[in-house]
Amino acid sequence: MKRKKWLKIGIGLFVILLIIDIVASFYFYQLAIDRNKKEFLQGNEDLEVSAETMEVLLEGDWRTWVDQQDFSEWTMTSNDGLELKGYYLEAEKPSNKVVVMAHGYLGNAMDMGLFGQYYYEQKGYNIFTADARGHGASEGDYIGFGWHDRLDYLDWIDQIIAKYGKDTEIILHGVSMGAATVLMTAGEELPDNVKAVIADSPYTSVYDLFAYQMDRMFHLPSVPFLPSTSVVAKMRAGYSLQEASALDQVKKADVPILYIHGESDTFVPTNMSEKLYENTKSDAELMTVENANHGEPFVVAKEKYINKLNAFLSQYTDWQ
């Protein structure tokens, strides 16, 4: 009788824990992946930046510059039927060089104007940026964290080449989620037109990022919550947290990659870029920036950033 009693108790506890895990899985999906307001990030200490950086990000002259530009609005239907929006700005003087930029989590295409202004004004390049699925004016009821977006960027690249010619040369430049996006894109079969990738503050995989944040924000272990959340993501968004891996993609990359990461980044730890760099199949370089939190390197050390960018492009491309 005692054995049956303990068996019933054990089964009961298992069922309770299973229910908790299922409820938590849907909660974490809704929290991070579902398209909605992300109030949980408000007041997150890991995203705090210096007052100087905040002023540049919110009120920098680059925002006025973006508002004054006459971007051409492009529309594309993704392979799964979403209407996506992209924005192209032709250089003032004819150029066959295009910088394709990818924004971060909860951002939008025009956030990349911080970098676009430099490429456009100082280098004379054409620039293109897009609202990722689930962001800005693009459709989508979930956030792809770069995985499905990599296929969208392949399509955007094809559109650019089709419109501007086979001699078009392209570099990809992304920040945070956008950096993971361009790295995931780099692992696909790219046209020879794509010459280099710039990845600023990327994560190794969505699973690794969530595991890190689950521990840091909620003090919870990744198991059993992340595997079950991954199942929910697969059912509702069409991808698992494990398969959405920039690390696996760079192991297949043929295009040169420059990694940039803040040494004080506590939202996406610097060691993720280090791991990506160590596992990249193609030629790669890594630059870290002192006293820079997540996404801060360009603001904190702009001259160092630009010098490294130009040296990298000069080494691996004919871009001047």
SS3 annotation, the chain: CHHHHHHHHHHHHHHHHHHHHHHHHHHHHHHHCECCCCHHHCCCHHHCCCHHHHHHHHHCHHHHHHHHCCCEEEEEECCCCCEEEEEEECCCCCCCEEEEEECCCCCCHHHHHHHHHHHHHHCCCEEEEECCCCCCCCCCCECCCCHHHHHHHHHHHHHHHHHHCCCCEEEEEEECHHHHHHHHHHCCCCCCCEEEEEEECCCCEHHHHHHHHHHHHHCCCCCCHHHHHHHHHHHHHCCCCCCCEHHHHHCCCCCCEEEEEECCCCCCCHHHHHHHHHCCCCCEEEEEECCCCCCCHHHHCHHHHHHHHHHHHHHHCCCC
Rounded CA-CA distance 31/225 in Å is: 13
What's the pLDDT tens digit per position in 80-137? 999 999 999 999 999 999 999 999 999 999 999 999 999 999 999 999 999 999 999 9
pLDDT higher than 90, residue 263? yes
Rounded CA-CA distance 320/52 in Å is: 30
Calculate the CA dihedral of residues 178, 179, 181, 185 and round it to 10 degrees.
140
Nearest alpha-carbon partner for 211 in 245, 260, 259: 245
Rounded CA-CA distance 313/297 in Å is: 18
State how beta strands 83-89 and 169-175 pair.
unpaired
What pLDDT is stored for residue 43 in this prediction? 63
Nearest alpha-carbon partner for 184 in 151, 233, 230: 151
Architecture of domain 50-205+244-316: 3-Layer(aba) Sandwich (3.40)
pLDDT higher than 90, residue 164? yes
Q: At 208, which amino acid appears? A: D
Q: Which residue has the tokens 């630059």?
A: 287
Instruction: Provide the residue ranges of all domains of the chain, joining segments of one domain with +.
Output: 50-205+244-316
Residues 92-124 as b or e (16 or more Cβ within 10 Å = b): eeeeebbbbbbbbbbbbbbbbbbbbbbbbeebe
What's the pLDDT tens digit per position in 127-145? 999 999 999 999 999 999 9
Share of the chain above pLDDT 70, in %: 91
pLDDT higher than 60, residue 253? yes
What pLDDT is stored for residue 148 in this prediction? 98
Specify whether the CB–CB gap between 148 and 182 falls below 8 A.
no
What's the pLDDT tens digit per position in 11-59? 666 566 667 678 888 898 999 999 988 776 666 676 666 777 878 877 7
Q: Which contacts qualify for 49-55: CB closer than 8 Å, 24 or more apart?
A: 49/293, 49/294, 49/295, 49/296, 49/299, 50/293, 50/296, 50/300, 52/299, 53/293, 53/296, 53/299, 53/300
Phi, psi at residue 205, to the nearest 5°? -160, 165
What pLDDT is stored for residue 283 in this prediction? 98
